[in-house]
Amino acid sequence: MAFRHIEVKPLASACGAELSGADLARPLDDDTVAEIRRAFLDHLVIVFRGQALTPERHVALARRFGTPERHPMVRAVEDHPEIIAVTKLEHETANFGGIWHYDLTFQEKPTIGSLLYALEVPPHGGDTLFANQYLAYETLSDGFKAVLEGLDTVHTNRAWAPREAYGGQRSIRLYQDDWRALEAVHPAVTTHHETGRKTLFVNPNSSMRFAGWTEEESHPLLDHLARHATRPEFTCRVRWHPGTLVFWDNRCAMHYAINDYHGRRRILHRVSIGGERLPSRTVSPVPKGVAA
């Protein structure tokens, strides 16, 4: 079907598209929202350039696609509980999201997607990569697919603690005083509830082991899947400019924030949309003597 209200220009063969013709600073009519959603489902990552969003409009836009959620680990910006600031300042060397990952899969209901809006970015560097996890699943052998479809993975927020995990980065305001361990069990292969396509759902940042397996047993397979899932031919790359908004589908696309702009400032605002429970096969307790 042709688009009537927006123009869609693919970024890469694997995923990603730039959309034009929509002023996100203004309320959108239902037909335009429907076309944006279709582009989002088709391309997994959609990019809008030259937008002028207030925090209020940022949140209102997110509400057209779901219910914004509060981040369980990062403090919100003042007066806007749905927005977190993704920040790296000139003196910092660590960045936020500098590893291939899905967002917040240690929750029982993983995030559907996020809308990330650029306020300040360096003149070069600080791009974000995205990887299509439909393709990651579809390019596995039939034998490997059969093995994975019988497995659940245990996801934890261990990477968020202790504070030293961020290399001293202080501009990301964590709920560190009342930090608590979180854990969720999700299938290694899921079916996207809107497209019906199967996707690999193994998170290098938080998938610690397979349910019923030890971490030592799990790591060789998890490491292999992490390498496979991020093959270059599965990816697209987004370069940021002030006023760029990127909306990605966290159910089928991983992302990686490139940390190549030391000495420069990068500030973006993120609103994430709450998700749905995934149908895991087990609610597996941690085996005796095995760390979560």
CATH number at residue 29: 3.60.130.10
193 as an active site residue: the answer is no
Is 281 inside a domain boundary?
A: no
Per-residue pLDDT tens for 21-47?
A: 999 999 999 999 999 999 999 999 999
Chain center to CA of 95:
15
Is 285 inside a domain boundary?
A: no
Is 180 inside a domain boundary?
A: yes
- Residue 8 corresponds to which tokens in the numbers above? 């869609």
224 as an active site residue: the answer is no
103 as an active site residue: the answer is yes
Q: How far is CA 197 from CA 134, 138, 193, 245, 251, in A?
A: 7, 10, 8, 26, 11
The pLDDT of residue 103 is 96
Per-residue pLDDT tens for 164-193?
A: 445 555 677 665 555 678 899 999 999 999
The pLDDT of residue 178 is 58
| DSSP annotation of 76 | P
Closest to 101 in 3D by CA, of 270, 256, 246: 256
101 as an active site residue: the answer is yes
Catalytic annotation, pick one of 103, 152, 249, 269: 103
- Domains identified in the chain, total number: 1
Is 287 inside a domain boundary?
A: no
The pLDDT of residue 292 is 42
| DSSP annotation of 73 | S
Which pairing describes strands 68-69 and 198-200: parallel, antiparallel, or unpaired? unpaired
Catalytic annotation, pick one of 101, 251, 266, 269: 101
Catalytic annotation, pick one of 209, 255, 266, 269: 255
The pLDDT of residue 72 is 84
Is 1 inside a domain boundary?
A: no
Is 283 inside a domain boundary?
A: no
Q: Are 231 and 224 in contact (CB under 8 A)?
A: no
Is 278 inside a domain boundary?
A: no
Complete DSSP assignment for 43-63: HSEEEE-S----HHHHHHHHH
Beta bridge mates, 83: 271
Show the domain range for 263: 7-273
What is the spatial distance between Cα 28 and Cα 172, in angstroms, rounded to a whole number?
Answer: 32
What is the spatial distance between Cα 81 and Cα 69, in angstroms, rounded to a whole number?
Answer: 9
Which pairing describes strands 45-48 and 17-20: parallel, antiparallel, or unpaired? parallel
| DSSP annotation of 250 | T
The pLDDT of residue 181 is 84
What is the spatial distance between Cα 86 and Cα 129, in angstroms, rounded to a whole number?
Answer: 16
Is 2 inside a domain boundary?
A: no
Closest to 132 in 3D by CA, of 237, 240, 208, 224: 237
- Residue 191 corresponds to which tokens in the numbers above? 């079916």
Q: Burial, 195: exposed, middle or buried (Cβ in 10 Å; 0-12, 13-18, 19+)?
A: middle
Per-residue pLDDT tens for 52-61?
A: 999 999 999 9
